[in-house]
Structure 1
Amino acid sequence: MTSDTSARPAAPVQGADSTEPAPSGLGLVHELDRSLRIGYGGTELTRYVYRPWDVQLESPRPYFHPLRTLGGDLVSLYRPHDHVWHKGIAWSLPNVGPANFWGGPTYLRDRGYQQLDNDGATVHRAFDRVSADGGAVEIAHRLDWVTQQGETWFTETRSVRATVQPDQGAWTLVFDTEFTNRTGAAIRIGSPTTEGRENAGYGGLFWRGPRSFSNGTVYTPDAVGRDELMGVRAPWMAYAGRHDDHDRSSTLVFVDEPANLGHPVKWFVRTNVFACVCPAPFFDEEVPAEPGVPLRFRYAVVIADGDRGRDGSGTLAETGRSQLAEAAAVRS
């Protein structure tokens, strides 16, 4: 059984298991102790799958899929055959000491990609808050990072906040994670690039776009381009792609919180082979996770109908920054 719902039509979120559903506002449905479905005005915006069905090889971890615009267009991909561990948007790290919390093979210096018995899992433990008041959906989540050998290396608290900006034809997902090393020694977090593979600095909040988004357009505050923007530093990055079946486009804008380590972040982005974006704080420099010392990262993802161009993407990035600030105020 899989959780691929991309082929299903958008569905209303009202029902007996809804949390404060409202036709004109945000609603939330808790589905079968597996996922949280967020909808707006009868359109499913996303599912947060917190108990995935994935096999160990795919490093089971929570993810957001499907992701849709307010207009109902799908802007994420689930388990593509070329990289079955790619799932919508997920917090995924490939090189965590000797462990892999990304899925699949691990890149090792002078050895290349090797399939090892090291694919860990990010395991749901409890929700501290799940609420929807029509204006925002709030999720507070506790998780453990468990190696393939069953050892808990990190505990994590994360929060998710979804809001809608109907006047902008957009909605915003704020993702906030704080994870702490529970072992007795530092664990170095890196990427294939820190192991020697050029321009493969992926790891972090990773988005995989639909296949029709291949050869899309990438925007930053200073540039418009495609794969040549791999590894640039910027406070935000946007990706605009076209849809099959109809003559429409969508834009996703990823915003790096100014307080994040290494801000402005280096970006992992691809357009040619497939569409993906990842603010990558461990792109080409390992970061030691010291025992008992939390590491925290916060991002906003603004999902909009239409190709907004560089200037319009900049406006959406401002929205993302304001939502990061609002989410921080709510959390405090």
Structure 2
Amino acid sequence: MSDRIRVIRTHGEDITVTTADGTEILRYVHRPDPDPFESRKPYAHPVRTLAGRTVTGYRPNDHRWHKGVQMTASHLSGQNFWGGNSYVPGEGYLALPERVGSMRHDGFPDLTVEHDRLAVTEHLTWVEHGGAEWAREERGLTVHSVDEASGSWALDWAIRLTNIRAEPLVFGSPTTAGRELAGYTGLQWRGPRDFTGGTVFTPDGEGAEQLMGTQGPWLAFSAEHDDVDAQSTLVFAHAPENLDARAAIHPSHWFVRAEPVPTVAFSWAFFTEFELPPGESFAYRYRLVVADGAWDRDRVTAHLAGLPW
């Protein structure tokens, strides 16, 4: 059986995944960024379709701290693990570097490669700006379902976060601090410039403005590229337990914009804050399907049904 993917790990730098024909579809970077104001943390960029179309943006001029796909926490006990300016009630966005934390890569205890699958376990520590260690994270990244017939592949991203402080960690967002419809936090995707104004839909709705702050099992974002006559689609999907009130620590909502910037976040604290007590943990699992072409609702639904968790 021929290999569908090839994986290269560069110590202290990144992990890259290419297809058998040499197309790099994923680069996961864990090298610390040079600018602490952008909240140093690992990220995935570039992410590409099987045809080689780039579907992530990196350090766009409107938000230099937006980097591909990354785990974030915009408001966490007074610290900013999103990067950039911090939202302050009554004052708006301010450059407060003393509030910007980081996520330190501590190692890959497990990395398994099969002919069509990469499974990575990563250990990280969330560190507030002053150097205090606040949380331990176990992150899971899985590349799978590389399918030339459908022109798609999938990336699963899991997080298990444990509070190692002596007091609760309080998770919020700009919306919980008073800014309407700015509930961004959690796993975030920033699209490339040509995704601006793209098509956004869910199982029962359409349009970024209409879907902002809503809930649902998946959300799709498709757009037409510059330079080439091609379209691409990304599907953002929750694992079933994320939407189970008995299993999830807090309800999730979509943060989504098509204009002025293309971005989606699995927001875990859109409208209200939640607390993680000392020594306690929470977990979420997410899936991104990266596809060539402009998929419609029926195609997304059928494809996800064929990808069991």
Confirm whether residue 308 of structure 1 aligns to residue 290 of structure 2.
no
Partner of 1:184: 166
Confirm whether residue 142 of structure 1 aligns to residue 129 of structure 2.
no
Confirm whether residue 296 of structure 1 aligns to residue 277 of structure 2.
no
Partner of 2:94: 114
SS of 1:161's equivalent? strand
SS of 2:301's equivalent? helix
Q: Which amino acid aligns with 2:230?
A: R
Distance 2:305 2:154 in 1: 11
**Quick one: which of 184, 197, 222 aligns to 2:204?**
222
TM-score by length of structure 1 reads: 0.87
Distance 1:30 1:216 in 2: 34
Q: Which amino acid aligns with 2:143?
A: A
**Kept after mapping to 1: 8 A contact 2:158/2:283:** yes
Confirm whether residue 194 of structure 1 aligns to residue 182 of structure 2.
no
Confirm whether residue 241 of structure 1 aligns to residue 218 of structure 2.
no
> How do 1:36-51 and structure 2 match up within 5 A?
36-41=15-20, 42-51=22-31
**Quick one: which of 70, 73, 83 aligns to 1:93?**
73
Contiguous gaps of at least 5 residues in structure 2: 243-247
Distance 2:304 2:279 in 1: 33
Partner of 1:25: 4
Distance 1:213 1:234 in 2: 22
SS of 2:149's equivalent? helix
- In structure 2, the CA distance between the partners of 1:236 and 1:73, relative to structure 1 (3 Å rule), is same
The alpha carbon displacement at 1:223 in A equals 1.5
Q: Which amino acid aligns with 1:224?
A: E
Q: Which amino acid aligns with 1:289?
A: L
Partner of 1:126: 107
SS of 2:210's equivalent? helix
Confirm whether residue 207 of structure 1 aligns to residue 189 of structure 2.
yes
Per-residue CA distance 1:165-189 (angstroms, 9 max, x = gap) = 3332110000000011101111110
SS of 1:168's equivalent? coil
SS of 2:125's equivalent? strand
SS of 2:241's equivalent? coil
Q: Which amino acid aligns with 2:223?
A: G
SS of 2:73's equivalent? strand
Answer with 48-57 or 254-263: which moved more. Answer: 254-263
Distance 2:53 2:122 in 1: 28
Answer with 212-221 or 256-265: which moved more. Answer: 256-265
SS of 2:234's equivalent? strand
**Kept after mapping to 1: 8 A contact 2:252/2:269:** no
SS of 1:314's equivalent? helix
**Kept after mapping to 1: 8 A contact 2:234/2:288:** yes
Confirm whether residue 284 of structure 1 aligns to residue 266 of structure 2.
no
Alpha-carbon RMSD across the aligned residues, in angstroms, is: 1.5
Distance 2:298 2:251 in 1: 19
Count of equivalent residues: 301
